[in-house]
Structure 1
Amino acid sequence: MRQAREHGDHHWPAWPFRKRAAGPGAAASRGPGSQLAAGIPVLPVLLVCGVLFVDILGGSGLFWLPLLAAGPALAASTNGFRGVLCVGFLAAALGGTLGASDGVPARELAVVLSALLAVTLASALASALRGRRERVLAAVRSVAEAAQHAVLQPIPQSVGPFRVAVRYSAAAAEARIGGDLYALVSTPHGVRLIVGDVRGKGLPAVGTAALVLGVFREAAYDEPDLLAVVGRIERSLARNLGPDDFVTAVVVGHPGEGRLEMVNCGHAPPLLISASGEVVAAETTRPAAPLGLRALVGESPCLEVLPFSEGDQLLLYTDGVTEARDRARAFYPLAEGVARHVSDEPEHVLTAVHDELLAHVGGRLHDDAALLLLRMQAADRSACAVGPVEAPGGGLPPAERTGFTSPARLGC
C-alpha cells in the first residue's frame, strides 16, 4: 500500500504515526539515501576506484580519466553535499596523481581536473537542494499524518461486546492520507459505526471525511434513531459540499442483543459472516443515494435489520478493496478471500485478507482501501437496557416481527 501500510496493532491507520526528530538523527529515518548521506559514500568511491583501476590496467593515460566525474555525480543522488565534495576531491587527487605518473601533458590534465571540480561543485549544489526538498517533504508528510490521525482516530480492540480489527491503506502513499473514512463509538444507544468513501482521494478528500466523521460522532450520541443520525450527516453535507461531491457510506448500530441495524447510502454491501463460517452479502432491498445527493433523488434511505448473535462477524469495506485488479484486470474476490480465512480472531482475518489483496494487485493499490471487521464476542446483557428500537412510524422493527428469517430484512 509502498502503497500499502499495515497497522502495528491492527487498529491504527496503516501508516505509522510517529514524530520525526529535528536533530541529526532525523536524516536516518527518511530513507536509504539519507542513511548513506550520514555515512561513507561507498558506491561513488568504488566507482572512482574502478575507473582508476581500468586506467592503470589500460595504461592509456588521459583516455579514462574524464570518467572520474561519474563519482561525484552519483554521490549527488545518494549523499549529502559533504559526501559529494569528498568524492570529488578524492577523484581529483587520485586522477591528478595518476595523470602525472602517466606523463599526461600538464595542460590537458589541468582541463580534465578543472572539469572534474566543476562537476563536483555542481553536484554538491544539487545534493544540497535535494536535501532541502526532502526536509520540506518530510514536514509536509508529518502534517498530513497528523491530519489523518485526527480524522481517523484509533479504534480499540474491544468495544462493548465486540472485537474489532481495522486495516487502512491510502493510495496517496507519499502523503499517507486518503479519502476513506471509518469510526466506531459506544453511545447510550449502543455501539455505532460508519465506514465510507469520499469522492476523490488525497488531501482534497480529507476535509469532507473530517466533516462526516465529526457529525457522525456527535449525532451518534444524540440521536436514538439510526436514521436520524444519517439525516444529520446528510443535512450537513448538503450545506457544505459542492454539487459534484458525495460520500458513500454504511452506518451500523447495535441497539440490543441479537440484531444490528444498518443504513446503506450507496455503498458496497457489508459481508455477514455467520458463526459457522458462511459468508453472505447484506444487500439492501431498496438502494439509497449517497450522502449529499438525497435532494437529487428525493428518497430517504431505509433501515435494514440484521440478525447478529455470538460468533457472528460483519465486514465493512470500501471499493478500493473490491475494485482492486490484478494484471489480468480481474477484481479481487473479497467474499471468497474472507471465506478462505475465516477465524475467531478478527485481526488474523484482516491480516490474511490484506496480504492476499496486496498479492492480487502486485503490491500496489491504486485507490484508498479500508476494512473494518466486527465480531460479537458474547451477549451484552446491559445493552438490552436500551430497549427495543422503534422503526419509523412506530412499532418494533420488522426483523423482530418476522423472526430474522433472512440475513437482512428491510425496515423502511
Structure 2
Amino acid sequence: MSERTKAAEPATTLTRDDLEWLTELMDVDSVSPLEGGPLDGAARAQRVFVAGAEARGFKAVLHEAPQPELLERPEVPAPVREAARRDLAGFLAGQPSAVVALGAPQPEERRLVINFHMDTVGPHVAPRLDGRVLYGRGAVDDKGPGVAALAGVAAAFAEDPSLARRIEVQIASVPGEEGGAMGTYGTRALVDAGYTGRLMVFAEPTGGRFMDACTAAMTPRITVRGEDSTDDHPGDGHNATVALGFLADFLARRLGPLAHGMGAKLCVAGLHTGHAHNRVYGGGELLLNIAYPSAEQAELLAASLEVLLEEARSEFTAAHAQDPFNRRTVRDWRRTVRLDWLKRGLPTLDNRDAEAELLLGRAGFVRHDGMADGSAFTCDAIWAPAPGRYVAMCGPGRLDANGAHTPGEHVHLDDLDDYAHRIKALVHAFATSTD
C-alpha cells in the first residue's frame, strides 16, 4: 500500500506556487562536482531556495561557503580533497550552505531543525510533470522533500502565529551529501557552528516512516601499477585487467558474505584499466564501497580486507602457475598491487529518544528499524547526534521505488502533500512539548 492511500486525511499544504518553486529549483543543475556537475551548481540552486523561502516569510540566518580548514580534517574523503585541490576558491564558492528560519531565536532545546541536501547525483534530468507525478533530478532525493518540509513549516506558523515566540524552526539546505562527500563540508559545518536542535529531521526518502539509525561508508581502492606491453608480447607486461578482474570476483565471494553477516553491505564498484583491444594494461584500479552499521564492524572489515588480499595473492599464484601470459603479474604482485582508502573513519548514527519519538508519532510518522531489515542507508545525518538531540531520517517516497539516482527519478505530488501536512503537525506537536 502506498503512502498516499494510508494518509489519515487529504493534505493540501503544498500549493501551486510551491510546485512552481520546486520545479524552478529542480531546473537548476546542481549535480555534485564529484559526479561531474558544475562547480557553481549548488550556489545557483541555493539562491533560488533562499529567495523562495524569504517569499514565504522565512529569514535567512546563514548563506555562506564552507571554510577551507574543513577540508583538512583526516576523514574528508579523497575525492573531495582532489576536487578542491583543482580549484579551491571555485569549489568552496560553489558549495554554500543555507539556513532559513521561522520564529524568534531560541536555545537548542526549543529549536526544530529540518535538513535536506541541495546537491544531486548525475546526470542532471530536467523536471517534467506528468499528471500528478513529478519527474526529474532531485524530485525525491532531495529537493522535493525539502520544499515540502518548508511548506509544512510555513503552514503551521500561519495557522498559529503564537509559534513565532514559542519555538524556532530552521531549515538547512546543504551541499556535499552526494558523490561520496558524506556531508563533510555541508551538514558537518552547520552542526559544528551550532545550527542544531532538540529534534533534527533529515528529509530523506524513507517512505514516510522515520529511522533513527543509519550506516556510514568506507571506500577502499585497489590499484595495480605495473608495466604495459603489446598484444604481440602479452607476457612481457603486468596484466592489471586479469589481476583486478580476479580480485573483484574473489572479494565478492569472500568479503561479501562476511560483510553481509555483520549487517554491512559490500558494493564491488568501478573497475578500469583501458579501452584498447591490442594492449596489455599494466595499471588500473578497482573500487569497493562498504556501508557499515558501526565503527567496530568497519575496523573488522578493513582488517579482513587486508588479510583477504594476501589470500587472493596466493590463490592467483596457484591459478596462474602455468600461465605464460601472466608470469610477470604473479612474480611482481607484492610490488605492483596496492590498497589505499578514498574514504574511511566516518561515524554512524544510532540514537533513541522516547519523548522525541512520541512527537513524530503524533504527527503520523511511524518508526522503522532500518538496521533490522537492511533498509538503513548512508546519509549525512551521521554528523548530527549529541546528548540532548534526537536525529531521525524521514521523508516522502523511497530511494528504490521512486528511482532515485536513475533517469526515472520521480515523486507523486500526493506524497509531497502528505509529507508537508505531517511536518505541519510535527511543528505543532513540538511547540506543545516545549510549553
Q: TM (normalized to structure 1)?
A: 0.24
**Structure with larger Rg:** 1
Bigger RCO of structures 1 and 2 (CA < 8 A, at least 6 apart): 2
